[in-house]
Amino acid sequence: MNAYQDLESRFRRRALLGEAMAILHWDYATTMPSGAAEGRAEQLTALTLESQAILTEPDVADLLDNAEASVDGADAWQAANLGRMRRAWQHANAVPPDLVAALTRAGSACEMVWREARQANDFQRLCPHLEKVVALTRESAMARADALDCSPYDALLDQYEPGGSTARIDTLFADLEGFLPGFLEKVLEAQASRPEPVIPDGPFPVDAQRDLGERLMRALGFDFDQGRLDVSHHPFTGGVVDDVRITTRYSEEDFTQSLMGTLHETGHALYEMGLPRDWRYQPVGEAGGMALHESQSLLVEMQVCRGRHFLDYAAPLMREVFGGSGPAWEIDNLARLYAKVARGLIRVDADEVTYPLHVMLRYRLERAILSGDLAVKDLPGAWNDAMEDLVGIRPPDDRDGCMQDIHWMDGAYGYFPTYTLGALAAAQLFAAATAEAPDILPGISRGDFGPLLAWLRANVHGHGRRFDTDALLTEATGKPLDTQAFKAHLQARYFD
């Protein structure tokens, strides 16, 4: 066994621990009884530490050096895999296991307090727990920054967006910040001049909603032999490549939002299901980072399912499943409903025009928190000011203000910008796909998603983590990520 093969076998062990963690995470969010939360946190911490220990074995450094000296550069997959191994090794060796464990435990504890503190709109109660998570995250960020030779924030970002940087994000976000507020004004004006969309009248039985969701998932290419649809408080995609588990939540009064949630997660799921199976247990076989992951969910949701072609196909199905008839069920109304724009308080409910503003707010504040420019105790005021500045409304309380998201509670700093990078990438990829494969759009109108899925498999899913976001975009669309396609998409959807 040469050095590279030895590394492969170690990374395989690590990947299998990661798969176990993925199932335990899913179970935590969907199934686990409430009294098991602390025990589960210990299990996940233990698996995290075992996984880290595989990469902190003292001989791994030599193995990497030897493999890098000898690996055949002509095998692009192997070379990319080795690059990913090196990066994973840097991260694993940067942060001492005690700090990893302390951060995992502090995150779990903070999350548990947060659930109740948010309900009670009690930021004071949350504050000391959040301060602890921030302090430990800062420590971890500095350690990673030393190892990766970058800024602490970029070191955190690198966990979610390999190769990403604030420099790159700042440029893209500055462009959007110059465009979106004015565009939002115009959309709201135009929207006011059109008929107000109507939500179809319920109630909509949960069983029927699930049937419709599963039918559309199947049509899009979701394989139920290797996946599931369940219910959780917040929709997410979890599990592993041959066992992809998406969740949604149902409201009997309104099926439209839940359905779009299901379709969003289906986009994530198709990415996971399409990853290169030959590389399943290697770092290069993983998805390409959270920006590309979000590009796949937003491509399905925003580019495809909220658009006219999809509604040509789906609206009759909706009428059939729910026995709907009348103006609320017409394609025009559903299209207006699914493209409704509003200044709102809650990120997860935001439309695609205002969503990036919610992200910019978080990006701005989390950098300030980590650098120490903003104290955790001053977060509520800073949040409300930034919301007023960026989105144009002021939260009446912290529940729907700075306490609305789980990310910071759990120690996920550097994650938020990937949502908007994903939105940009989705638009750019979909524009390239439809230009290159003219059968995609007519296929969507008929419920034939084969041409779309084939393009995504070939240009995104099948690449695994071979490329960083910009490199993949360049391969697939001819240029690195920019804002042009996103702006063109918004223009077309809201004004054409």
Please provide the size of the chain in residues.
Answer: 496
389 binds a second copy (CB under 8 A): no
Amino acid at 55: L
Cα separation values, 144 from 152, 159, 302, Å: 7, 10, 35
17 binds a second copy (CB under 8 A): yes
CB neighbours of residue 352 within 10 Å: 21
**Could you tell me the smallest distance in angstroms from the CB atom of residue 300 to a second copy?**
21
Q: Choose which of 6, 10, 46, 316 interacts with a second copy (CB under 8 A).
A: 46
Task: Kindly tell me which of 162 and 227 has the beta carbon lying closer to a second copy.
Answer: 227
CA distance 331 to 338: 10
Task: Kindly tell me which of 44 and 473 has the beta carbon lying closer to a second copy.
Answer: 44
CB 209 within 8 A of CB 250: yes
**Could you tell me the smallest distance in angstroms from the CB atom of residue 24 to a second copy?**
6
20 binds a second copy (CB under 8 A): yes
Q: Mark whether 352 is an active-site residue.
A: no
CA distance 285 to 329: 42
Which residues between 222 and 241 bind a second copy (CB under 8 A)?
Answer: 223-228, 240-241
Q: Choose which of 2, 5, 9, 36 interacts with a second copy (CB under 8 A).
A: 36
Binding segment for a second copy (CB under 8 A), chosen from 22-30, 307-315, 325-333, 450-458, is: 22-30
**Which tokens is 419 given?**
């949502």
**Could you tell me the smallest distance in angstroms from the CB atom of residue 34 to a second copy?**
6
CB neighbours of residue 90 within 10 Å: 18
Binding segment for a second copy (CB under 8 A), chosen from 46-54, 88-96, 139-147, 207-215, is: 46-54
CA distance 352 to 300: 13
Task: Kindly tell me which of 19 and 131 has the beta carbon lying closer to a second copy.
Answer: 19
Which residues between 77 and 106 bind a second copy (CB under 8 A)?
Answer: none
**Could you tell me the smallest distance in angstroms from the CB atom of residue 118 to a second copy?**
21
32 binds a second copy (CB under 8 A): yes
Task: Kindly tell me which of 39 and 326 has the beta carbon lying closer to a second copy.
Answer: 39
**Which tokens is 113 given?**
């307090």
42 binds a second copy (CB under 8 A): yes
**Could you tell me the smallest distance in angstroms from the CB atom of residue 51 to a second copy?**
9
Put residue 334 in one of left, alpha, beta given phi > 0 → left and psi -120 to 50 → alpha: alpha
Q: Is the peptide bond before 442 cis (omega within 30 degrees of 0)?
A: no
CB 309 within 8 A of CB 444: yes
Task: Kindly tell me which of 20 and 368 has the beta carbon lying closer to a second copy.
Answer: 20
Task: Kindly tell me which of 65 and 223 has the beta carbon lying closer to a second copy.
Answer: 223
**Could you tell me the smallest distance in angstroms from the CB atom of residue 304 to a second copy?**
25
Active-site hit among 8, 131, 253, 265: 265
Binding segment for a second copy (CB under 8 A), chosen from 17-25, 107-115, 169-177, 457-465, is: 17-25
Binding segment for a second copy (CB under 8 A), chosen from 42-50, 293-301, 455-463, 465-473, is: 42-50
The 179-218 site mask, x for binding a second copy (CB under 8 A), equals: ----------------------------------------
Size of the site for a second copy (CB under 8 A): 33
Task: Kindly tell me which of 37 and 488 has the beta carbon lying closer to a second copy.
Answer: 37
6 binds a second copy (CB under 8 A): no
242 binds a second copy (CB under 8 A): yes
**Could you tell me the smallest distance in angstroms from the CB atom of residue 36 to a second copy?**
4
The 132-151 site mask, x for binding a second copy (CB under 8 A), equals: --------------------
Q: Choose which of 1, 7, 10, 40 interacts with a second copy (CB under 8 A).
A: 40
Which residues between 49 and 78 bind a second copy (CB under 8 A)?
Answer: 49-50
Binding segment for a second copy (CB under 8 A), chosen from 28-36, 310-318, 391-399, 484-492, is: 28-36
**Catalytic residue list:** 265
**Binding positions for a second copy, rule: CB under 8 A:** 13, 16-17, 19-20, 23-24, 27, 31-36, 38-40, 42-43, 46-47, 49-50, 223-228, 240-243
